Each structure stands twice: as C-alpha cells, then as structure tokens.
Chain A
Amino acid sequence: MNAPNKSGWKPEMQVAESGFLGGPVTTTGNRGLMLEEPLLFEIGRADVTGVDLPEIDPSAPNRLGGLARSEAIGLVGLTEPETVRHYTRLSRQNYGIDLGFFPLGSCTMKHNPRLNEKMARLPGFADIHPLQPVGTVQGALEVMNELAHWLITLTGMHGVAMSPKAGAHGELCGMLCIRAALEARGDARDVVLVPESAHGTNPATAAFAGFRVEDIPATPEGRVDVAALKARLGPDVAAVMITNPNTCGLFEKDFREMADAVHAAGGFVYCDGANFNAIVGKVRPGDLGVDAMHINLHKTFSTPHGGGGPGSGPVVLSEALAPFGPMPFTARDGDGVVHLVEEESAAEFGHTQAFGRMTAFHGQMGMFTRALTYILSHGADGLKQVAEDAVLNANYILRSMEDILHAPFAASGPCMHEALFGDKDFTNGLSTLDVAKGLIDEGYHPMTVYFPLVVHGAMLVEPTETESKAAIDQFIAAFRGVVERALEGDEALKQAPYYSPRRRLDETGAARKPKLAYES
C-alpha cells in the first residue's frame, strides 16, 4: 500500500527497481539538490576571515605576562558567503520538525513557534548580563517569576527551582533536594528505587547524587509493579523515581497509592516529568503526591531541541522539599519588586537551607522567555487542549496500527501521548532497526527505538499535538507499508535507507578506532 500524496506523484511514476539511484554518475558526487559538503578544515584557510577587524600591530606593547601565543592555533576561516553556504549545505542533510513529522517517543518533537524565537531575541532579554545590578534587570526577573508562577500552578506544587540547565540536570536538582532534606533530619537512607522502564538518566542521576539504585519490575500491563514497590519500601529507601505518564506511554494509575506508601515509609517521590506534555493543564502532579518533578521546557513548552540542546529543566518542589531548592531563585516582595535571591540574600528571604548552587548563573533565560511566550499563547485552555490532542493523536495511531503491529500494552487501555509497539512478529531476521530505516526512505524521522527496554524491539511513537489529521494519516499509511514489508521478510529493508544523504553508518568501526577530530 502506498501513502497518499497530493503532490501529483503517483506510485507508478517511480522508476522501476533503481528508483532515484539509477541516474548517471556525476563528476561532483552531488545529486541535484543533494549536495556533498567537505569538512571545514578541507576548505578553510588560515589567512582568510569573514570578520573585518583591525590588523594586528606587531610592535604594540602587551601585558600578557610573557604568555603571548607563539604557536599557530590550527584554525581555519571562511568568508561570509562561504560560511553561509557551508552551513546551509550541512543543514540540508538534517531532518527537523520544520521539514516533517518527527514521532520520536518521549522526546516530544512538537512545532517550535517562531514568536518564541522573536521574543527571546528582544535586546531586553538577549543583551543583558547575568551580573548586572538587579535594579537594571527587573523585567528579566519578572519573566522568571511569571514562568515560575505558571509552573507552580500547572503542577499544583509549592515552589520551583529555575536554574537547572536540562532535564537530567533537573533530575539531579530534585534528587539533591531529597538528599538535603534527609540530611537535615539526620536520616541516612540511601536507596533509590527506579522502575526498569525508566529513562537512563534516572539511575545515572541517582548514582551521581550519591544514592544506591535498585530496580523495580514492571507488570505485564506496562506499569510499575505496585506490590513489588511496596514490598521493597523500608527505612533504607530514600526515594522512588517514577515517570508519569510512563515510558510505555501509560498513566501510572496507582501513582497516588504508591506515593502515599512511599511517604508513609518515610521516603520521597521523584516524578520524571519528561512526559508532562500528556497531562499539562489536565492533571496536576501535586495532586498525585509528587515531591519533586523536573519539567523539560524543550519538550512540554516547545523550546527548540536544536540538534541536542540547549534544554531547560526547572524543578517543581513540594512543601517538604522547597526549602532546600538551590540558589539562585526569584522571589517577589510585598511591594511587587522581584528579587534575585542569592547566597547573600538567602537569610533575608528565609531561604537558609538551600543545598547549594547548580550553575554559575540563573538558568536558561533564553528558554524561559520562549517557554513563557508559548504558555501565554496557549493559556490554561490551550494547554489543556494540547494534552488532549497529543493523547488523541497517539491513541489514533495505536488503534490504526494494532491490527498489524505488536502493541504489547494495547489491552491495558488508552495510551497517553505515545504509543508503544514491539518487533516480535517480524520475519526473516528483520527488526525494529530495519523498520526505522525504512521510514527514513519514506521521508520520516523514525520513532524512538529500543526504548523502553521492557519491550523487545520497542518502537515508541509520539505524534504530539501539532500534527494535522492528514499528516498523521499519511504517516500511518507509510508506517503500515514498512511494517508489512517487515512482516513479509522483505530482504531489501535490511539495507535501508537508500534515499538519505548517507546509507547505514558503521558505528562499530567508529567506536573501535575513534576518530574524534580532523587530522590533516
């Protein structure tokens, strides 16, 4: 079955067998609009620059303490036209949300509104220094405070630490708050329970925060095994880290019960908020007994992923943990003036138990402006609709695929914002990887693959709310087409992708003899 395509293209128009690859060999290696681009170090020159600066006066005295550089750095430069072309050509070898559907489960690749970019670039936000006198940055502090107010209200929590730089940094912040709270009461608990379906950052974070990590199994229906969790609780358990909705795309319906049990046993509840986009405006984690939860502004609140960051990971905190939140944070006084609370003013604001500092400055201001812009655009009603449409789209994909693709938890009820599938019915040695690569040829970024680990050959599909029904229908048709080939054992799929800028890359070779910098 071929995907519907309104461009005028019809399946029979494809050149038989050879497809696009059957044309003549070109002199350049380019193929029309697909342009090969050399490395910077192969085209740049040491004596060329794209910035006009005064020539160096070699006779000028210096005060470099005898440390003036004598050796060449080894850099090369390009003029502006060459620079723009180099990076434009590179950019065209990338897939992004702007180009197409990007159903990367758990990563939440939703549209990045351009108003956010415009607002973040206002000189009043982009061109201010973190250590300017606070009287000169009241607007920036108000942005932090206003965003903090939204995050606290949307989650039903008590306070928020704004400085963490990304989700994993937020996890660390939350877990350090827990360490600090335990220390403050002289409690030596050091075990953190992490479900086996958790993101890898959870156990890594807990270990970095000085805890010992123990796994908690999942039930056959894809949720935390509540009985196993309760059985393990005891005086040595400091916290649990639970993702909700979880990485199988399901709401942990017994979350409150688990949280109550953990609290009764003297522990804390960390919630991985990576999937908060499924419930934003719809459910408040505070109502579920959460003590700390990070919020990925680059997921739920649409700040761009940028090919791997920057992110931003504010952590909302319960009343029990808020006193331990790190410096700096913002607070508004009775006269409406916003203060940046740092080490020296902590006492004045009653924030004397802060566990320390996570970063040099105040967090990801550029992400705060973007996230606040997104939040104000949507409002309380729009955010609720965001969650509802994200969940609707995921369920629509789940129910449109389950007749041909193994959906291990389809019987567990509705999914949340992502649908999980497995590869157990594929034949002829075909696997999830082959389906992912086949989707590349169809013009899609693949879903998240081989995560969560609890499902064999996991395929985690997250459409987000910013896709139209037509876009989703076309994806479903393409996905079904590739899955049918995997079920039939289509050998050709093992070599996919055929039409991308590069074919499958030798990752084993890359790791065996790492080449991590250009050598001339």
Chain B
Amino acid sequence: MRYLPLTDTDRQAMLAKIGASTIDDLFVDVPEVARLDGPIHGLPMHASEMAVERHMKKLAAKNLVAGEVPFFLGAGAYRHHVPASVDTIIQRGEFLTAYTPYQPEIAQGTLQMLFEFQTQVARLYGCAVANASLYDGSTACWEAVAMATRVTKRKRAVLSGALHPHYAEVVKTMAHYTGDEIADALPSITPDPELTGLIARIDEETACVVVQYPDILGRIADLTPVAEAAHAKGALLVVVNTEPVALGAIKSPGEMGADIVVGEGQSLGVGLQFGGPYLGLFAVRDPKHVRQMPGRLCGETTDAEGKRGFVLTLSTREQHIRREKATSNICTNSGLCALAFTVHMTLLGEKGLRELAAENHRLACLAADRLAKVPGVEVLNNGFFNEFTLMLGGRPARAIIRDLADRGVLGGVSLGRLYPGVAALEHALLVAVTETTTEEDIERLAEELEASIKETV
C-alpha cells in the first residue's frame, strides 16, 4: 500500500514494544458482536494510482463540462476565470496540509492571510468586520438570522420573496427546530424588486429582514428604505449577496445601511465544483456586534519580542469554549477557499475588480439586448448586474433548458427547477453572463433558444 510506511518488520517490533502478540490484541475492547473476520465483504481491494485514475476519469467524462459549451448558469454559483497562480498557491503544502491555526507561532501564514481576507471582505461589503469564513452563502444566511435573533432578542425573521429559494429553505429548516418564526414569500415577477410590500411586513416583533442583492431574479434596488424601515422598528437588515463581483460595480450593502452582510464567495478563486466546497462570507457593519458573530475571527497582536503577529481571537464565542452556549456550532470552516478568494482578490485589486465587474456587466447588457430579440422572449429586469430573467411567453423553461442542453448549450437556470410546483414561475429563465462568456456564445444561445422555442409548443 503506497500510503502506508510501516513494514511487517516494523509492525512486529512495535507490537513487541507494546507487549502485544497480534494487532487484534489492540482491539480487545471491541465487543464480540462487532468483530469481523477480515476485510468488509462486498467491497473491492486496494488499487494502483493508475487504476484509480482510470476509473475516476471515466466518471468525469460522463459530465458535460461548463467550459466546453456556451454556458449561462448562475443562481448562486458563477463561472469566472480563475488566474493560474491561485491554484498554484492553494496547492502549496504549507497551506493545503495545515490545520486550523491553533498554534499561532507556526501558523502565521494562514493567520495573516485570514486577516487580509477579513479586511478585503469587510471593505467589499462596506462593513467594519468580517469573519474568517463559514461553509457557504446559504449557511451564512442562516447564521445571520440566528445572530439577529440574539442581538434583538426577537424570534421573527422576514425573508424577501426574492431571496434564493434554497437559502430560504435552509433558514426555514433550521428555524423550525430553533423555534424561530420565518415569514417568507415567493418572488414577484416585476421589473424591479418589490420593496413596498417587504417593508410593510416588518413589525415590532421582527428580528431581521433578509434581502438578496442583486436578488434571485438578478434585479437590483437601493435598499436604504428597507434599512430605515427595519431600524425604525428595531430590526436589523441582513443583506445576502451571491455574486461578489457585482460589488465591484454597485454600491456596497453597508453603504445602504445593512447591519449584517453575508454571501457566497465562490465567484472568486473557488470554481463551480458542482456546488461545493464554497465559501460563506459574513460581516457586520457595526463593530459593537462583533461578539455576537459566529465563526472564527483572526486578530492582530504582538509576540513576546514585540513583533506583529496574528491569532484566532474572541474564541469565548465559540463551541470549544462555550459548548452549548456558543454563538454557533461551527468548527471547520472554508479556510482553503478563503485563501483562493483572497489570492484572486489580491490579483484583481481595486482596479481589477472594477474592470472585471464592468466587463461582466457589458457582456450581460449585450446578451440581454440580443436575447430580447428572440421572438417570444422578454427580458424582465429593469436593472441587473450580470444575471437577468427571461420570460418565455408561456413556455416551460425547464423543458427549454433540457432541450438546449441536448443542443449543446447550457442556457441558464429555470425557475421551475428552483421553485418546483409554482406555476406562476415556471415560464421564467435565469441567464447569467460573466467575463468567460463570448459574443459567439451569446449568439449561439440566442439562435438555439429561438429554435427551441419554435419546437416547443
């Protein structure tokens, strides 16, 4: 076995030192009922690197690779170009094979990187403090709701109808068991986000109102009135962002008065990876809320010689100290994805992120204009960043998407997939465009969509 360094001679010598005659002497505490007479039956034996590689490649070949076809999917996971140096850096063994930095003297690499990451995220979100990451955007969304209930000592969260339905589902799943009350809704099919109705749902029992920006349909609106309305009732505004690149082009949630900003960081550095691992981002605008935050925080300090250094801090919030009174049960988070994000962000910088955002938006505008010319297709959105909603004139978007896939185009995400069983939404299609999209891709989508619509009665 290529991964096991002990030889049989070593094993015998070690058993002798221990005073055991066979390895099973070390498993004497396993009750009779659970002892096995050999390797577990019905499973293959070990295999060479070459054999395993062959098997895995066979499985990989059964998937349609996003980068090989015109590709327009988004809805919380975006395909961006990741510079080659990002993967090189995250594969350095000192980062890849390190543990959570519990021994800061020999983990300054991870800790300084996290401090820089926290700073980048906080600035991107227009916040004071960001944590060292959570699992993904959807779990970060729940953590934000949970934090808001702690801060306000209220138990009701109002979700915007245009919050990603899977995020809403995660929040509702958790709230069911924590006894919190979640008021959710379906998205309204309107050219702009419907904020008046949302504001009307905020009351004196509301811990927080949760709004996605840009929202699930790709729309954007100034959330300042929502922040003001929430604050007037003593509630917090939680803003969810699933596309961090957007914040290179539009106002930050913090600027609009968001109290907690959470999101998915996958767009930068991480890649699609069929949905995971991703990167949960979490930040607060007001530093007074820091002690109610979930997850790890990295802070600056000095060492015994007075040199600057970094440590995990405020851990009295965390499970390993507070146990059942912790602010979250999270332990392992998304450290290596945070590294990928921060390296990508460092490569971009202020200038690069703004240019990247502008390029995404430019191509998205081109796509929207071109697709609007397809007979039977309308663009719903007034405003958008790099994702918008197409209305397919009464045709089921799911069937169209499957048909497009058969034509070699991954054309978007149908709302039918996201909201199964909701008839009012099944004719809508989400289309995302990034810097990886070419004008030829857009033309191809337009042509195939037109053909597909013609053939779908």
1/0 per residue, CB under 8 A from A, across B396-410: the answer is: 000001100100001
Q: In angstroms, how far is the closest chain A Cβ from the Cβ of B10? A: 4
B29 touches which of A115, A304, A358, A414 (Cβ 8 Å) = A414
Residue A185 lies at the interface, judged by CB distance under 8 Å to chain B:
no
Contacts of A49 in B (CB 8 A): 347-349, 351-352, 355
1/0 per residue, CB under 8 A from B, across A154-180: the answer is: 100000000001111101100010010
Contacts of A388 in B (CB 8 A): 23, 26
Q: In angstroms, how far is the closest chain B Cβ from the Cβ of A425? A: 22
User: Are A515 and B299 in contact (CB-based, < 8 A)?
Assistant: yes
User: Are A86 and B104 in contact (CB-based, < 8 A)?
Assistant: no
The 8 closest A-B pairs by CB, nearest first: A77-B349, A65-B383, A361-B275, A124-B60, A356-B173, A306-B336, A98-B93, A139-B62
Q: In angstroms, how far is the closest chain B Cβ from the Cβ of A260? A: 10
- Assembled-state Cα–Cα distance A339/B61 (Å): 18
User: Are B350 and A72 in contact (CB-based, < 8 A)?
Assistant: yes
- Assembled-state Cα–Cα distance A250/B30 (Å): 10
A308 touches which of B110, B320, B435 (Cβ 8 Å) = B110
User: Are B297 and A48 in contact (CB-based, < 8 A)?
Assistant: no
Given contacts A142-B62, A507-B301, A516-B297, contact A342 B420 (CB under 8 A): yes
Contacts of A168 in B (CB 8 A): 319, 329-332
User: Are B112 and A39 in contact (CB-based, < 8 A)?
Assistant: yes
A362 touches which of B39, B92, B276 (Cβ 8 Å) = B276
Which of B113-143 touch A at CB < 8 Å?
Answer: 113, 115-116, 118-120, 122-124, 128-130, 132-133, 135-139
Residue B251 lies at the interface, judged by CB distance under 8 Å to chain A:
yes
Stretch at the interface among A10-18, A203-211, A262-270: A203-211
Residue B328 lies at the interface, judged by CB distance under 8 Å to chain A:
yes
User: Are B63 and A139 in contact (CB-based, < 8 A)?
Assistant: yes
Given contacts A200-B321, A366-B276, contact A518 B343 (CB under 8 A): no
Stretch at the interface among A1-9, A226-234, A478-486, A494-502: A494-502
1/0 per residue, CB under 8 A from B, across A61-88: the answer is: 1111111111111111110100110111
User: Are B173 and A392 in contact (CB-based, < 8 A)?
Assistant: no
Contacts of B144 in A (CB 8 A): none
User: Are B29 and A51 in contact (CB-based, < 8 A)?
Assistant: no
User: Are B337 and A310 in contact (CB-based, < 8 A)?
Assistant: yes
User: Are B320 and A200 in contact (CB-based, < 8 A)?
Assistant: yes
Residue among B63, B96, B174 having the largest count of chain A Cβ atoms under 10 Å: B63
Given contacts A94-B108, A129-B66, A506-B302, contact A399 B19 (CB under 8 A): yes
Residue among A140, A312, A391 having the largest count of chain B Cβ atoms under 10 Å: A140
Residue A45 lies at the interface, judged by CB distance under 8 Å to chain B:
yes
1/0 per residue, CB under 8 A from B, across A185-218: the answer is: 0000000000000011101111111100100000
1/0 per residue, CB under 8 A from A, across B304-328: the answer is: 1101011101111011111111101
- Assembled-state Cα–Cα distance A377/B274 (Å): 23
User: Are A281 and B118 in contact (CB-based, < 8 A)?
Assistant: no
Residue A148 lies at the interface, judged by CB distance under 8 Å to chain B:
no
Which of B209-266 touch A at CB < 8 Å?
Answer: 219-222, 247-252, 255, 264
Q: In angstroms, how far is the closest chain A Cβ from the Cβ of B237? A: 16
Contacts of B85 in A (CB 8 A): 50, 80, 83-84
A sample of 29 inter-chain contacts (CB < 8 A) reads A44-B349, A51-B347, A51-B356, A57-B358, A63-B381, A63-B382, A67-B222, A90-B108, A92-B94, A98-B94, A119-B53, A136-B63, A137-B274, A143-B56, A200-B318, A204-B329, A282-B27, A307-B110, A310-B276, A326-B173, A356-B172, A359-B136, A359-B276, A364-B276, A376-B56, A381-B46, A414-B27, A507-B301, A516-B129
User: Are B356 and A53 in contact (CB-based, < 8 A)?
Assistant: yes
User: Are A305 and B349 in contact (CB-based, < 8 A)?
Assistant: no
Q: In angstroms, how far is the closest chain B Cβ from the Cβ of A448? A: 8
B326 touches which of A91, A200, A361, A369 (Cβ 8 Å) = A200
User: Are B347 and A77 in contact (CB-based, < 8 A)?
Assistant: yes
User: Are A308 and B132 in contact (CB-based, < 8 A)?
Assistant: yes
User: Are A502 and B350 in contact (CB-based, < 8 A)?
Assistant: no
User: Are A376 and B47 in contact (CB-based, < 8 A)?
Assistant: yes
User: Are B10 and A469 in contact (CB-based, < 8 A)?
Assistant: yes
User: Are B324 and A392 in contact (CB-based, < 8 A)?
Assistant: no
Stretch at the interface among B161-169, B194-202, B370-378, B438-446: B161-169
User: Are A53 and B352 in contact (CB-based, < 8 A)?
Assistant: yes
Residue B36 lies at the interface, judged by CB distance under 8 Å to chain A:
yes
- Assembled-state Cα–Cα distance A150/B43 (Å): 8
Interface size class of B (residues with CB under 8 A): 35 or more
Contacts of A367 in B (CB 8 A): 276-277
Q: In angstroms, how far is the closest chain A Cβ from the Cβ of B227? A: 14
Which partner residue on chain A sits nearest B65 by CB separation? A123
A88 touches which of B89, B275, B326 (Cβ 8 Å) = B89
Which of B374-428 touch A at CB < 8 Å?
Answer: 381-385, 401-402, 405, 410, 413, 417-418, 420-421
Residue B454 lies at the interface, judged by CB distance under 8 Å to chain A:
no
Contacts of A51 in B (CB 8 A): 83, 347-348, 352, 355-356
Contacts of B66 in A (CB 8 A): 127-129, 132
A96 touches which of B33, B98, B135 (Cβ 8 Å) = B98
User: Are A304 and B18 in contact (CB-based, < 8 A)?
Assistant: no
- Assembled-state Cα–Cα distance A437/B278 (Å): 34
Residue B457 lies at the interface, judged by CB distance under 8 Å to chain A:
no
Excluding A39-B115, A283-B34, A505-B105, 14 further A-B contacts by CB distance (< 8 Å) are A53-B352, A84-B85, A96-B97, A98-B94, A166-B332, A207-B325, A210-B178, A283-B30, A306-B336, A376-B52, A377-B3, A504-B105, A510-B300, A514-B297
Contacts of B276 in A (CB 8 A): 130, 165, 310, 312, 359, 361-367
- Assembled-state Cα–Cα distance A357/B5 (Å): 42
Given contacts A39-B112, A283-B35, A506-B303, contact A69 B332 (CB under 8 A): no
- Assembled-state Cα–Cα distance A503/B304 (Å): 6
Given contacts A56-B358, A310-B335, A392-B15, contact A510 B56 (CB under 8 A): no
- Assembled-state Cα–Cα distance A360/B137 (Å): 8
Residue B77 lies at the interface, judged by CB distance under 8 Å to chain A:
yes
Which partner residue on chain B sits nearest A202 by CB separation? B323
B359 touches which of A54, A142, A344 (Cβ 8 Å) = A54
Which partner residue on chain B sits nearest A346 by CB separation? B420
User: Are A255 and B105 in contact (CB-based, < 8 A)?
Assistant: no
B354 touches which of A56, A128, A305, A471 (Cβ 8 Å) = A56
User: Are B27 and A65 in contact (CB-based, < 8 A)?
Assistant: no
User: Are B274 and A518 in contact (CB-based, < 8 A)?
Assistant: no
Given contacts A87-B113, A377-B52, contact A506 B106 (CB under 8 A): no
User: Are B75 and A131 in contact (CB-based, < 8 A)?
Assistant: yes
A466 touches which of B5, B26, B420 (Cβ 8 Å) = B5
User: Are B100 and A111 in contact (CB-based, < 8 A)?
Assistant: no
Given contacts A115-B52, A391-B27, contact A381 B45 (CB under 8 A): yes
Q: In angstroms, how far is the closest chain A Cβ from the Cβ of B268? A: 11
Which of B25-51 touch A at CB < 8 Å?
Answer: 25-31, 33-36, 38-47, 49
User: Are B297 and A78 in contact (CB-based, < 8 A)?
Assistant: no
Q: In angstroms, how far is the closest chain A Cβ from the Cβ of B92? A: 5
B247 touches which of A73, A389, A393, A467 (Cβ 8 Å) = A73
Which partner residue on chain A sits nearest B337 by CB separation? A310
Contacts of B77 in A (CB 8 A): 129-131, 361
A60 touches which of B33, B119, B326, B362 (Cβ 8 Å) = B362
User: Are A172 and B329 in contact (CB-based, < 8 A)?
Assistant: yes
Contacts of B343 in A (CB 8 A): 83, 87
B100 touches which of A126, A308, A501 (Cβ 8 Å) = A308
A310 touches which of B6, B135, B252 (Cβ 8 Å) = B135
- Assembled-state Cα–Cα distance A176/B172 (Å): 13
Given contacts A362-B276, A381-B46, A507-B311, contact A128 B63 (CB under 8 A): yes
User: Are A97 and B355 in contact (CB-based, < 8 A)?
Assistant: no
User: Are A67 and B335 in contact (CB-based, < 8 A)?
Assistant: no
User: Are A385 and B91 in contact (CB-based, < 8 A)?
Assistant: no
Residue among B45, B326, B331 having the largest count of chain A Cβ atoms under 10 Å: B331
Residue A33 lies at the interface, judged by CB distance under 8 Å to chain B:
no
Residue B181 lies at the interface, judged by CB distance under 8 Å to chain A:
no
User: Are B383 and A67 in contact (CB-based, < 8 A)?
Assistant: yes
